[in-house]
Amino acid sequence: MDKPVLDFLLARRSAPIQELSEPGPNAEEIETILRVATRVPDHGMLTPWRFILYRGESRVEVGEKLAELAEKLEGPLSDARRQQELTRFSRAPLVIGVVSSPKESIKFPEWEMFLSGAMVALNLMHAANALGFGTNMITNWYSDKEEGRRILGLAPHERVIGFVHIGSHPRNTPDRPRPDVAGLVSEYSGPWSES
């Protein structure tokens, strides 16, 4: 048993995005993070996911476009609400969009491809954490809007799995209550019925 790996996994938690700071991962670290991320089940080797990197000035550009979209949908925004949208992608040094990009297949359903992408996102977070960075994954309102997805660089057939915010963090985030695993487990006892 590899106890350090288990201890690492048992200590996983999300860092508050506003606490993620420079420096973010460098080019070599990003490549490592992405290589680890792709080590997931992928039936048929379809690679039904991809990544979008938001860094530097592109994070500010995205915020401006999201603020415009929010105002178009909601009407005039308060200063606080506008600031919230302007900084959506600029709070952390790096945001990696994990995108579900399903492929045509008669054998593998699209929902399975999406699940493969969700595993990519979790592996990505584990890899960044293992390199010493804090992470937090969100989707937010713009992920459910066709125009929001277009602004963020997704094609019409693609969907957001998550936006992983990555940056330096002191790793002092308090843990939150975790589920009682015993209450989530049952032994198989035949097909489900209401009785």
pLDDT band at 171 (very low <50, low <70, confident <90, very high): confident
State the Cα torsion 11-16-17-19 to the nearest 10°. -100
User: Token pair for residue 1?
Assistant: 């048993």
25 close to 133: Cβ distance less than 8 angstroms: yes
pLDDT in tens, 60-114: 999 999 999 999 999 999 999 999 999 999 999 999 999 999 999 999 999 999 9
Q: Which CATH architecture has domain 16-55+92-169?
A: 3-Layer(aba) Sandwich (3.40)
* 162-172 mean pLDDT: 93
Domain boundaries, the chain: 16-55+92-169
Alpha-carbon distance 166 to 71, whole Å?
A: 28
User: Token pair for residue 67?
Assistant: 């603020």
pLDDT in tens, 177-190: 999 999 999 999 89
Does 195 have pLDDT greater than 90? no
Token pair 């990544």: residue? 51
Question: Which residues are part of a known binding site?
Answer: 12-14, 39, 43, 137-139
159 close to 150: Cβ distance less than 8 angstroms: no
Question: Which residues are part of a known binding site for FMN?
Answer: 12-14, 39, 43, 137-139
3-state secondary structure 50-82: EEEEEECHHHHHHHHHHHHHHHHHHCCCCHHHH
Give per-residue burial for 42-78: e unless 16+ CB within 10 Å, then b: beeebebbbbbebbeeebeebbebbbebbeeeeeebe
pLDDT in tens, 26-54: 999 999 999 999 999 999 999 999 999 99
Alpha-carbon distance 40 to 166, whole Å?
A: 20
For residue 23, whether the previous peptide bond is cis, meaning omega lies within 30 degrees of 0, is yes
